[in-house]
Amino acid sequence: MTPLTREECAKLDTEDPLAGFREEFTLPEGVVYLDGNSLGALPKATPERVARVVEREWGADLVASWSTAGWWDQPRALGAKIAPLVGADTHEVVVGDSTSTNLFKTLVAALRQNPDRKVVVGESGNFPTDLYVTQGVVELVGATERRVAPGEPDLEAALATGDVAVVVLSHVDYHTGTLRDMAGVTRLAHEYGALVIWDLCHSVGALPIELGACEVDFAVGCTYKYLNGGPGAPAFTFVAERHHASARQPITGWHGHARPFEFSGEYVPAEGASHFLSGAQSLIAAAALEVSLELWSRVDLGQLRAKSLALTDLFVSLVADAGLTLVTPLAEERRGSQVSLRHPDGPAGEAVVRAMAERGVVGDFRQPDVLRFGFAPLYLRHVDVHDAAMALVEVLRSHG
């Protein structure tokens, strides 16, 4: 592909149907932010909304806000706003806790849904918390972990033994940016009698997701990356409707009780995904997330994906001769919204990322040798990508 000039990029920006969203974010002057896959940018409407929760709902209305401000129902209301972003029904998603905690809950629940089997399959190289939580759960319940190399061939070999209860996978790999075939892998796992938990941290808000159509069992994801919910924003849990009647998660707190205000001594699970709630959440953090999800409700995910692919294509074409090795697959059906590049002299890549930051281009470095650039289509322009690529090329040149 012939790399575009900056002028051609500027023209694409004038034709970009998502261009208006950039105005809705606070972005520091002179910075090209390619780390929105780690912490998404701040929507301009967030501070005022958070202040309102603090000053009015908390400060003036106090405890009444649990009902008058909708605090009690906020985990379900936010879940309903996330549902269309992941191809789920509104009652299949709830918001609360962290991705790590939600993975713990869903993994225990999934193991209980498949009680004759005791093996959890995960992939080496998955995000550490997914590996660590899996280790913790198998230790706790007396199951075993089988960790395989990423990719369908090894996964199928691991499933073929017929004893796998649950598979835990990331939809987009945080390190390489590889997008998995959610429909195909889920079907494969089901054929071998296993359930699937998908971690959507690097795909939600980056591309359209079809949990329902793919017949996914459980999913978890965070909201502070592409969804711009703010640092430590509450995560979400998806539980497919067919599991609602029987799925049982282990942190049976009162917020997941069918009738919490009876204050009875016995736990009765709430219906639907609500059973996966445990205790009170930060309503201040929830307010920040609510603002960004209102913004996201206006995003056409088809346009989002098209722009994401255009931006990553553009970046790849501009740095093609820079001496780095492309790690992220170029095939569209295998590519998330990031570009990972391997530096031939591993640790030197970290200095490159630092030098780029000094030029106002924020990316990150992942051990041992990967430069990682995330492309958040709502607030990045084609010219930003062009500038970032030129900065990378110049830094590499000057670092010899």
Q: How far is the CB of 233 from ligand PLP (least distance, A)?
A: 9
Tokens of 318: 């501009």
44/334 with CB nearer ligand PLP: 334
- Is 222 one of the binding residues for ligand PLP (CB under 6 A)? yes
Contact 256, 270 (CB under 8 A): yes
Least gap, CB of 201 to ligand PLP (angstroms):
3
Binding residues for pyridoxal 5'-phosphate: 99-100, 127-130, 199, 202, 224, 254
Between residue 333 and residue 362, which ones bind ligand PLP under the rule CB under 6 A? none
Nearest distance, CB of residue 323 and ligand PLP, angstroms: 28
Size of the site for ligand PLP (CB under 6 A): 13
Question: Which one among 100, 113, 135, 252 touches ligand PLP, defined by CB under 6 A?
Answer: 100
- The residue among 130 and 313 lying less far from ligand PLP, judged by its C-beta, is 130
Residue 390 Cβ vs ligand PLP, minimum distance, rounded to whole Å: 29
Candidates 16-24, 25-33, 93-101, 291-299: pick the segment binding ligand PLP (CB under 6 A).
93-101
**Distance between CA atoms of 164 and 161, rounded to whole angstroms?**
7
Residues 185-214 that bind ligand PLP (CB under 6 A): 199, 201-202
Contact window for ligand PLP (CB under 6 A) among 24-32, 92-100, 105-113, 316-324:
92-100
- Kindly tell me which of 151 and 302 has the beta carbon lying closer to ligand PLP: 151
Rank residues 114 and 129 by Cβ distance to ligand PLP and give the closer one.
129
Show the 3-state SS of the chain: CCCCCHHHHHHHHHHCCCHHHHHHEECCCCCEECCCCCCCCEECCHHHHHHHHHHHHHHHCHHHHHHHCCCCCHHHHHHHHHHHHHCCCHHHEEECCCHHHHHHHHHHHHHHHCCCCCEEEEECCCCHHHHHHHHHHHHHHCCEEEEECCCHHHHHHHHCCCCEEEEEEECECCCCCEECCHHHHHHHHHHCCCEEEEECCCCCCCCCCCCCCCCCCEEEECCCCCCCCCCCCCCEEEECHHHCCCCCCCCCCHHHECCHHHCCCCCCECCHHHHHCCCCCCHHHHHHHHHHHHHHCCCCHHHHHHHHHHHHHHHHHHCCCCCCEECCCCCHHHECCEEEEECCCCCHHHHHHHHHHHCCEECEEECCCEEEEECCCCCCCHHHHHHHHHHHHHHHHHCC
Helix axes 74-86, 283-296, angle to 10 degrees: 30
The mark string for 149-178 relative to ligand PLP (x by CB under 6 A, - otherwise) is ---------------------x---x----
CB 380 → ligand PLP: shortest distance, Å?
19
Nearer to ligand PLP, 65 or 203 (CB): 203
Q: Is 35 in the site for ligand PLP (CB under 6 A)?
A: no
Identify the residue among 127, 218, 226, 276 touching ligand PLP (CB under 6 A).
Answer: 127
Half-sphere exposure of 7 (CA within 13 A, CB side): 0
Backbone angles phi, psi at 187, to 5 degrees: -60, -45
Q: Does 290 participate in binding ligand PLP (rule CB under 6 A)?
A: no
Catalytic residue IDs: 127, 199, 224-225, 372
Site membership for ligand PLP, residue 226 (CB under 6 A): no
User: Between 31 and 131, whose beta carbon lies closer to ligand PLP?
Assistant: 131
Q: In this chain, which of 99, 281, 308, 340 binds ligand PLP, going by CB under 6 A? A: 99
Question: Given candidates 16, 92, 123, 130, which one binds ligand PLP under the rule CB under 6 A?
Answer: 130
Q: Which residues bind ligand PLP (CB under 6 A)?
A: 98-100, 127, 129-130, 170, 174, 199, 201-202, 222, 235
